[in-house]
Structure 1
Amino acid sequence: MPPASQTRARRPNVVLIMADDMGFSDLGCYGSEIRTPHLDRLAADGVAMSQFYNTARCSPARASLLTGLHPHQTGIGVLTHDDGPQGYPGTINQRCVTIAEILRAQGYRTAMRGKWHLTGKVHEPHDAWPTRRGFDDFYGILAGAGSYYQPVTLTRGEEPAEIGEDFYFTSVLGDEAASFITQHAAHGDRGAAGAVDHDDPFFLYLPFTAPHWPLHAPEEIVEHYRGAFDDGWDVLRERRRQRLIDAGIITDAWPLSERDEEVVAWDEVADQEWQTRRMEVYAAQVELLDAAVGRVVDALTETGQLDNTLIMFLSDNGGCAEEFAPGWVDELPHPPLHTPLRTADGERVRRGNDPSVEPGGPATFASYGKPWANLSNTPFREYKHWVHEGGIATPFIAHWPAGGLRSGIDHDPHQLPDVLATVLEATGVDYPAEYPGRDLLPPEGTSMLGSWRGTPTPQRPLFFEHEGNAAVRAGRWKLVRKHGLDWELYDLDRDRTELDDLAGRHPDRVAVMARCWQDWADRCQVKPRDQVLAATGGDRPLLVVKDFVSSRRR
């Protein structure tokens, strides 16, 4: 007779991977020129979603992903700033429970490798640190971004972690995640088929900082992309759109959105060589992220755990159009938390987008800006911060060979709170009715497993708000607005690129959907944007400056 543990159905492991500031079309399997063979393979053998939505910004996306709530309910409506009683506390609160807390209580080993960004208190252990929100062990950064060569707030457990030689954060995270899987497997017995056989599966949360600014990548990887972007963003957006159509992810009925009005035609760009360098480094960052995912998949395969591991991959928001004004970091009146003053070798760090400075090395701290973010978000318009499709549409890949998923493209609309619901169904775990010391809010999501297995998810409205930018999607209809502007209405079946505003032709529908959005906002503790701005004395300083592509050839 086999041991009792071998006669039980094994609970699946769960690996949840999040990219940072990566656009809808930045993976090879979603139309990109960038090499992402490992994620492409997961998509080919699993499910690739065409209409999954995030929340348009880093911290809110992470809060919603881990808790199954809308971000405002967790205390993180914007970022990790404490904006007082009229705004958001900026720290994950006690009315939510994380996936890690739920699964650990049910016998799962829990680990995190990557970016936390769910508290403003990053220097002293706090009840909103990952080690106190369900993770048995943690390695990563607590802040929102940083140098890939010298990340600030790098922590192991609750202690500062050292940075070794030849350190590159994305690659180290891949190694750390693979090591966790291997070490976990070493504590289990192996069945006849070689699979790990124990009753303590694991949950691994792997939120990268890549490809969030700064543009940092080893030169040997950047070299892979020499010439890859020389045709410029106009031509490349057309090519990406066609690849998306060929893959069945979008339909050719949706026109490509026009080039952003603040971005000039490629033929008129003054500093083409510098511009292509920006995108080459960004592409290298995505390739290195994919390579890190590959090490995780290899570890699962080598330990016999790949088939019974639910892997999910997504991005926290659309491509990022933020730009930086040039300047030496050590001359700034208030050096930002995420930027080192000098490199490990003592070089001054040049922060900002300066055509005379080639990005990629540790002495630079640049971004790729609006024109390339426009490419990343092909075929959509707008970016991170906004809740038009370019800000909230993300690639989403699900892979679970033992889970009965049908391979192919899933076109059902879903959003971040649905991840927790999916994990709970997959693991057979119930959402806790109570949790010590907390008055829990009920989860907001719907499981995606049925959809992935071939049963369409019943339609229900999806809601969004960030910095006063608001949207509700109900079936084929989407109502959306920028803060301070009128509502726009789009038929997404016909016009997902949001080019034909139908609000003037359907005022009754606009009124009904606007009321629906307001009811949700009231229930989910969305703070009116003007109230938040009044509490903070106006907008916090933005990183955005006028893009260098406004200069034309003379």
Structure 2
Amino acid sequence: MKKLSIAFMVLFTAGLSVQQALAQQKKPNIILIVVDDMGYADLGSYGSEIHTPNLDKLAQQGLRLKEFYNNAICAPTRASILTGQDQHKAGIGYFDQNLGLPAYQGYLNKESLTLAEVLKQNGYSTLMSGKWHVGNDSTGWPNQRGFDRFFGIIGGASNYFNTSYMPLGGAKYPVIIEEDNKRWHKPDDSYYMTDEIGDHATKFLDEQSKIGKPFFLYLTFNAPHWPLQALPEDIAKYKGRYNIGWDSLRKERLARQVQLGLRDPSQPLALRDAEVPNWDNLTYDEQQLWKAKMEVYAAMVDRMDQNVGKVLDKLKELKKDDNTLIVFISDNGAPAEDVAHGKVHAARNIGPVGTSGSFESQGKNWSFVSNSPLRSFKGALYEGGMSSPLIAWFPGKIKANTIERGTAHLVDLAPTFYDVAGAKYPAAYNGTKTNPLIGKSLSGLFFRGEELNRDKPLFWELWGNRAIREGKWKLVSVFPVNQWELYDIDNDRGETNNLAAKNPDVVRKLSLEYLQWVNANNVVLDFNLIKPKAILDIKAN
């Protein structure tokens, strides 16, 4: 009672009535955790050998989805997360680069409200720690788009031990790290970025607990995005674990997914990418380099999970763990790019893999394991590029150790959070008419196991690649071939059997619906018309 009275006094000081104070006390807190470039199978609860006890605990005490879709690459994904809009409607149809059209302007438009803007209007404290990547201009940074507190990376990536530029494609990619609009910098090698993101999140929660409002925390780790850099004590946990190579490791993960109930063993597996060699065909030196890469990658995921643990401990300490919804996702599938040895070489690799002087990535060879059992990689609209694990946890509200198919999408997160928070989405904001929400609340799926029914298909366009998902069918095409392929995802999630020739009516129906979506969202049908003159093989995405 004493604590409640103190909370009410704080609320009264803010000019709230008793009824408003009671309402705010009952509103749930919301935490959305997003990781970067982590594959579908990289958590223990999704089949991995990597030590992720905190996220696995959330999965065991909560819900996992078999099918949750992202936008296959970073900035477009984050645009949909933050606004509940298709990426083009929000202004980030291509990336965080301005291609000269509103749907491809490279930053969030004013018509697409962020989660922070809406929840703040509805009585929430809004906190963010981590990676932004939906606009480089300071007028569109987190504190200007509704967040009360922000610490993190403005652009697409950073080093983990310093704030130096990143050497990409022969250019210097700037690393901008801010805390509430002030440039943040620590001496080189005096910190580890994943820890800084976790520590700032717990600091913000501590400070926010004195306000008496419910909170929304957007916790966006840049791990395990390249460069592969990790702390020695974490790398040591995995020494020798990956000597078996990717062929054997994939078999282990696939078997574990069946045991967990995440994969139907009767379904065909995605075919091995032709560029991934057999482990046994590598030289000894090649094997040493590649196993070291995976040791570091695992260490980065491990450290991310440790920082999730810090946040969970802080929730418990603040006695808010019984009234908090936590959702965890990844922004896209594991990546194909080899930043140190690809066509465009990184300008720096001056230390062993994992150290602050190294600039490596896991490449296709390990990423096809990370995305098991799915096809392809980040940037592609096959399942491996656009599928994420999703964990949802809310004690007493979400049934423990539940697995659902789901077939949900990023645009469903905003309606879910507003539904749970009892938040009203405004028709206008600061004199600007807002884009209506297009997703479906997942609260029925999360809390009651109800099937998610949609009025319309899900649509994607990324760099000329196209996809539609309706029911069991998925229509997909790859730029610049632009030939429709059709897959029965219910029976072939590995996308091994193209059924387009056998089902022309389905192809025709879905492709016409795609054209309607293109017109409604100002999508450029021919990507060649807006494609940048040079798309680098290496991107901070």
TM-score, with length taken from structure 1? 0.87
Going from structure 1 to structure 2, the CA distance change for 1:226 and 1:325 (only over 3 Å counts) comes to closer
Q: Determine the C-alpha separation between the residues in 2 that align with 1:276 and 1:525.
A: 45
Return the alpha-carbon distance in structure 1 between the equivalents of residues 251 and 454 of structure 2.
Answer: 32
1:493 deviation in Å?
A: 1.2
> Is residue 21–residue 384 contact of structure 1 (8 Å, CA) maintained in 2?
yes
Moved more, 157-166 or 290-299: 157-166
Amino acid at match of 1:542: D
Tell me the amino acid that sits aligned with residue 481 of structure 1: S
| Alignment match, 1:346 | none
- In structure 2, relative to structure 1, the CA distance for the partners of 1:440 and 1:401 (3 Å cut) is same
Q: In structure 2, how many angstroms separate the alpha carbons of the residues matched to 1:442 and 1:532?
A: 28
Match of 2:133 among 117, 120, 127: 117
Establish whether residue 145 from structure 1 lines up as the match of residue 157 from structure 2. Answer: yes
What is the distance in 2 between the residues matched to 1:30 and 1:326?
A: 30
The worse-fitting range, judged by mean Cα deviation, of 388-397 and 460-469 is 460-469
CA displacement, residues 104-162 of structure 1 (integer Å, 9 cap, x when unaligned)? 011111111011111133xxx32x11111000111101011010111321111111012
- How many residues align? The count is 505
Judge conservation of contact 2:124–2:214 (CA < 8 Å) in 1: yes
Are residues 1:480 and 2:504 paired? Answer: no
1:516 corresponds in structure 2 to 513
User: Which of 145, 149, 152 is the matching residue for 1:133?
Assistant: 145
- Contact 2:91 2:103 (8 Å CA) reproduced: no
Task: Write out aligned runs for 1:393-408 (5 A).
Answer: 393-405=387-399, 407-408=401-402
In 2: Cα distance, 1:285 partner to 1:500 partner: 35
Q: Name 1:551's counterpart in structure 2.
A: none
Is 1:425 the equivalent of 2:419?
Answer: yes
1:528: how far off?
2.7
Q: Is the 8 A contact 2:63 2:391 kept in 1?
A: yes
* Structure 1 position 529, deviation (Å): 4.4
Shift of 1:325: 4.3
Q: 1:122-521 residue pairs with structure 2 within 5 A?
A: 125-126=138-139, 128-151=140-163, 152-164=175-187, 166-185=190-209, 187=210, 198=212, 200-270=213-283, 271-325=286-340, 349-350=348-349, 358-405=352-399, 407-452=401-446, 453-460=448-455, 461-485=457-481, 486-521=483-518
User: Which residue is 1:550 aligned to?
Assistant: none
Report the Cα offset of residue 531 of structure 1: 4.3
Distance in structure 2 (CA, Å) of the matches to 1:396 and 1:320: 19
1:326 shift after superposition: 5.2
Match of 1:90 among 98, 106, 130: 106
- Once the two structures are superposed, what CA deviation does each residue of 1:372-395 show, in whole Å capped at 9, x if it has no partner? 111110001110000100001100
Matched, 1:528 2:525: yes
Tell me the CA shift for residue 217 of structure 1.
0.2
SS in structure 2 of the partner of residue 260 of structure 1:
coil
Q: Could you tell me which amino acid in structure 2 is paired with residue 458 of structure 1?
A: N
Question: Residues 278-308 of structure 1: CA distance to partner in whole angstroms, max 9, x if unpaired?
Answer: 1110110000110111100110011110111
1:432-452 per-position Cα deviation (integer Å, ceiling 9, x unaligned): 111113221111110111011
1:32-71 equivalent positions in 2, closer than 5 A: 32-71=48-87
CA drift of 1:255 comes to: 2.2
Q: Tell me which moved more, 1-10 or 493-502.
A: 1-10
Q: Any conservation in 2 of the 1:130–1:138 contact (CA below 8 Å)?
A: yes
Query: Which residue identity is paired with 2:30?
Result: V
Structure 1 residues 232 and 404: CA distance shift in structure 2, 3 A:
closer
| 8 Å CA contact 1:238, 1:256 repeated in 2 | no
Q: Give the drift of 1:87.
A: 6.9
The answer on whether the counterparts of 1:478 and 1:492 sit within 8 Å (CA) in structure 2 is yes
Query: In the superposition, relative to structure 1, how do residues 492 and 350 fare at CA in structure 2: closer, same or farther (>3 Å)?
Result: same
Aligned to 2:10: none
Structure 2 distance, partners of 1:277, 1:472, is 38
Q: What is the alpha-carbon root mean square deviation over aligned residues?
A: 2.1
Deviation at 1:427, TM superposition (A): 0.4
1:297 alignment partner, SS class: helix
Partner Cα distance (1:377, 1:484) in 2:
24
Q: CA deviation at 1:16?
A: 0.7
Q: Displacement of 1:358 after TM fit?
A: 2.8
- Where 2:67 maps in the other structure, the secondary structure is strand
Q: What secondary structure is seen at the aligned counterpart in 2 of 1:282?
A: helix
Provide the rounded CA distance (Å) in 1 between the counterparts of 2:440 and 2:101. Answer: 31
The residue type paired with residue 290 of structure 1 is D
Which residue pairs with 2:167 in the alignment? Answer: none
Structure 2 stretches lacking a partner, 5+ long: 6-17, 164-174
The secondary structure found in structure 2 opposite 1:411 is strand
Q: How high is the sequence identity, in percent, across the aligned residues?
A: 40
Report the Cα offset of residue 511 of structure 1: 0.8
**In structure 1, what is the equivalent of residue 171 of structure 2?**
none
Distance 1:62 1:87, change over 3 A: closer
Q: Identify the range of structure 1 (455-464 vs 483-492) with the bigger mean alpha-carbon deviation.
A: 455-464
Q: CA offsets, 1:195-216, max 9 Å, x none?
A: xxx4x10111111100000000
Q: In 2, are the aligned partners of 1:82 and 1:120 still within 8 Å (CA)?
A: no
Alignment check: 8 A CA contact 2:34 2:329 kept: yes
- Contact 2:88 2:103 survives alignment (8 Å): no
Decide whether aligned partners of structure 1 residues 238 and 529 sit closer, same or farther in structure 2, where only a CA change above 3 A counts.
Answer: farther
- The 8 Å contact of residues 86 and 527 in structure 1, kept in 2 or not, is answered as no
Quick check: 1:28 aligned with 2:28? no
Matched letter for residue 466 of structure 1: L
The one-letter amino acid of 2:420's match is A
> In the TM superposition, what whole-angstrom CA distance separates every residue of 1:319-358 from its partner, at most 9, and x where no partner exists?
011112459x9x98xx7xxxxxxxxxxxxx427xxxxx63
Amino acid of the residue matched to residue 499 of structure 1?
A: T
More off after superposition, 255-264 vs 78-87: 78-87
CA–CA separation in structure 2 for the residues paired with 1:375 and 1:269: 17
Q: Give the 3 Å change call, closer, same or farther, for CA 220–162 of structure 1 in structure 2.
A: same
Equivalent in the alignment of 1:341? none
8 Å contact kept, 2:89–2:103? no
- Structure 1 residue 175 displacement after superposition: 1.0
User: 1:77 aligned to 2:93?
Assistant: yes
Matched AA of 1:513: L
Q: What letter corresponds to residue 51 of structure 1 in structure 2?
A: E
What amino acid sits opposite 1:456 in the alignment?
E
Q: What is the Cα deviation at residue 78 of structure 1?
A: 1.8
